[in-house]
Structure formats: structure tokens, C-alpha cells
């Protein structure tokens, strides 16, 4: 009786849903086995391909900055992560959008939320003082008065 031949699992063909990303944003994409050596991330628009700035590369994720381009209307694009050898690792459909005009910040700065990959970080988030809005004074904890013993 012949022993079974081990098979290599087929690569995943499930593609993540299209996501919106502002031009110039910093993104982190997770993927298994990108390799230890840094590769490249390319942004493919209609008839043009632009290289993204890779800020960090690990075997399971890559952090990069999208090119800063003027976007007036959402633009369909494709992000392609290439391993150091040039072999394609993963590809994502993305819609390049204009930077948001207003960014809402959570009141509780200690709150964290689980955000699925890809993570979009907007480096252009305006602060209240930059918008000419009054900046509230920081709240102080209440002090409980304790009478002194005679």
C-alpha cells in the first residue's frame, strides 16, 4: 500500500473587501509569509503604477505610506505587495479618497478599538486649536476634603 503524498495547501483565493484610504495615509497590511527581507508595495491606478514608501517590513505585515496625490473623486486602485524576490505576495482592491475635512476624536483617549487589517492612520487629523475652536480645559479629578483632627 502506497503512503499518501503530502500536498502543499493551495494559496488562499479569498480577497479582502475593497477599502477606502486617503492619499498620503500610512497603512499596515497583514499577510502570512511576506519573507524576512523587505520587498515593495505598488499602487496601481488606471494606466499608472506608483511605488509606496515602505516604513516597516516583517514576515507577517508591512507598513507603508501611500503617495500624496490630489484626489478629487474616489479612485479605484490596487495595492500589490511584492516580496524581495519580486514575487507577488498579496493584492488588495482599494479606493483612493480625498483626505477627510473633519476627523472626530474619541473623548476617552485611553479607549482602544479592534480595527481589522488594513489599518489606516490619518496623519493630517486637525487639532481643535488648528481649526480655531475653543480648546476645553483639562478636567481635574475631584478632591475629597478630609477634616483635620484637633
Name 95's Cβ contacts closer than 8 Å, sequence gap at least 6: 18, 19, 20, 21, 74, 75, 76, 77
Q: What pLDDT, on a 0 to 100 scale, did the predictor assign at position 58?
A: 95
| Radius of gyration (C-alpha) of the chain in whole angstroms | 23
- pLDDT tens string 26-50: 999 999 889 999 999 999 998 899 9
Residue 98's domain spans which residues?
A: 19-103+114-125
Residue at 31 is within a domain: yes
User: Is residue 68 in a domain?
Assistant: yes
Residue 84 lies in a domain: yes
Q: Is residue 131 part of a domain?
A: no
Cell numbers representing residue 133 in the block? 475652536
CATH number reported for the structural domain that contains residue 70 in this entry = 2.60.40.10
Extract the residue ranges of the chain whose pLDDT is less than 50. Answer: 1, 3-13, 111-117, 119, 122-129, 137-145
Helix (H, G, I), strand (E, B) or coil at 76: strand
pLDDT at res. 18? 85
With respect to residue 23, please indicate whether it lies within any of the assigned structural domains. Answer: yes
pLDDT at 70: 86
Amino acid at each position: 500500500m502506497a503512503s499518501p503524498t503530502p500536498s502543499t495547501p493551495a494559496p488562499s483565493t479569498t480577497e479582502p473587501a475593497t477599502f477606502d484610504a486617503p492619499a498620503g495615509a500610512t497603512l499596515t497590511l497583514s499577510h502570512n509569509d511576506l519573507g524576512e527581507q523587505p520587498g515593495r508595495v505598488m499602487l496601481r491606478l488606471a494606466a499608472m503604477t506608483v511605488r509606496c514608501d515602505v516604513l516597516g517590513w516583517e514576515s507577517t505585515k508591512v507598513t507603508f505610506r501611500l503617495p500624496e496625490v490630489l484626489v478629487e473623486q474616489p479612485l479605484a486602485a490596487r495595492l500589490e505587495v511584492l516580496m524581495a524576490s519580486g514575487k507577488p505576495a498579496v493584492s488588495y482592491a482599494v479606493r483612493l479618497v480625498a483626505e477627510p475635512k473633519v476627523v472626530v476624536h474619541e473623548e476617552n483617549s485611553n479607549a482602544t478599538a479592534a480595527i481589522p487589517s488594513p489599518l489606516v492612520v490619518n496623519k493630517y487629523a486637525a487639532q481643535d486649536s488648528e481649526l480655531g475652536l475653543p480648546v476645553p480645559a483639562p478636567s481635574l479629578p475631584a478632591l475629597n476634603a478630609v477634616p483635620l483632627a484637633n
